[in-house]
Amino acid sequence: MKTFIVALQKGGALVPASFELITAAKEIGGEIITVILADDAAPLAQELASRGAGKVLAVSASGLAHLNEEAYAKVLAELIGRETPDLVIGPATFYGKALFGRLAAKVGGAMASDVSKISLQGEQLVATRLQYGGSVVADVVNNADKPFFVTVRPKIYPESQDGDGEVVSEAVDEALVEAGSTVKEVKVESSGAVSVTEADVIVAAGRGIKGTENLPMVNQLAESLGAAVGASRAVIDAGWMPYSAQVGQTGKTVNPKLYIALAISGAIQHLVGMRTSKTIVAINKDKDAPIFNVANYSIIGDAFEVVPALTKKFQAELKA
């Protein structure tokens, strides 16, 4: 079994999910090859190698400083043709999904997106993912004789911390880096807030918070836990919070260690985006709210009473 990991970088720093992919590859077993594309890929490749990424292909070119789907797909397709892997994995992030759709089509391989587990059953690779709005857990297999392309949900696997690896500087034809468009700059949100897709702890608000005047209550709880702030679609549609905070089928898929749902009823569209969280705490005054069906801990009560009490307790713990 040969696994080809596509590690991604943003702003010259490796995306944390890249280290999670190494763990996934280790669990499958066999040969591991990792590739990193950047304007200067050498230091990033060294970091990957120190985390057990196997043979790390460092591809450097000025046109690879930022992710350009066309250029990246051409370069990766060339390297995949050389290495002939059985499995190609990348992160199921916004950029990862966009890249892999194009890459799988270019190579002609089958693809499974947003996977929560990859396993080897006998000699067959099996990718496990949610389908039909999260109501079905499906095992997807590759019936083709070309590589199986899989994007893995962040926070499912722990980050690989150590292991063996070697860096190989890989040269590619400059024509492969050329594309019909050029990415000159990537701007990120300047709020400094933790992204919900990368956070270990998330505090999410639902329609029950009633309005923007109550967001400080949500933010204070999040700050006391060092958490990111998320929201249900109802909150986003009401204009109370930006779309970047939306968790659910039409928003972000998250997998934190702790997910606290404040006044969220728990429609299936929301659950599909957070139900794989390691620990779910639900706070709702409606004892029949669907969110309680997936919660590990349920607090039946008014969020306007429960949340300030929790915040006070957590703030006291921080000062102790």
Convert the pLDDT of each residue in 41-67 to its tens digit: 999 999 999 999 999 999 999 899 999
Q: So what's the pLDDT on residue 137?
A: 84
pLDDT band, very low/low/confident/very high, at 23 (cuts 50, 70, 90): very high
User: Which residues, in sequence order, are CB contacts of 250 under 8 Å at separation 6+?
Assistant: 233, 269
Q: How far apart are CA 58 and CA 104, in angstroms?
A: 21
Residue ranges and CATH numbers for the domains of the chain are 2-177 (3.40.50.620), 201-319 (3.40.50.1220)
To the nearest whole number, what is the mean pLDDT of the chain? 92
Q: So what's the pLDDT on residue 136?
A: 80
Q: So what's the pLDDT on residue 181?
A: 84
Give the 3-state secondary structure of residue 125: strand
Q: So what's the pLDDT on residue 238?
A: 96
Q: Residue 189 pLDDT > 70, yes or no?
A: no
First to last CA, the chain: 51
Q: Residue 296 pLDDT > 80, yes or no?
A: yes
The DSSP annotation for 195-260 comes to: PTTT-SEEEEE-GGG-SGGGHHHHHHHHHHHT-EEEE-HHHHHTTSS-GGGBBSTTSB----SEEE
Answer whether 126's CB lies under 8 Å from 141's CB: yes
Q: How far apart are CA 120 and CA 150, in angstroms?
A: 14
Q: How far apart are CA 5 and CA 29, in angstroms?
A: 13
Q: So what's the pLDDT on residue 273?
A: 87
125: left (phi over 0), alpha (psi -120 to 50) or beta: beta
Q: What is the pLDDT of residues 196-208, one digit of tens each?
A: 888 999 999 999 9
Give the 3-state secondary structure of residue 94: helix
Q: Residue 267 pLDDT > 80, yes or no?
A: yes
Q: Is the dihedral of CA 10, 12, 15, 16 positive or negative?
A: negative
Q: Residue 130 pLDDT > 60, yes or no?
A: yes
Q: Which residues of 28-44 are buried (b: 16+ CB within 10 A; e: fewer)?
A: beeebbbbbbbeebeeb
Q: How far apart are CA 252 and CA 319, in angstroms?
A: 33
Q: What are phi and psi of 10, to 5 degrees?
A: -135, 120
pLDDT band, very low/low/confident/very high, at 134 (cuts 50, 70, 90): low
User: Which residues, in sequence order, are CB contacts of 43 under 8 Å at separation 6+?
Assistant: none
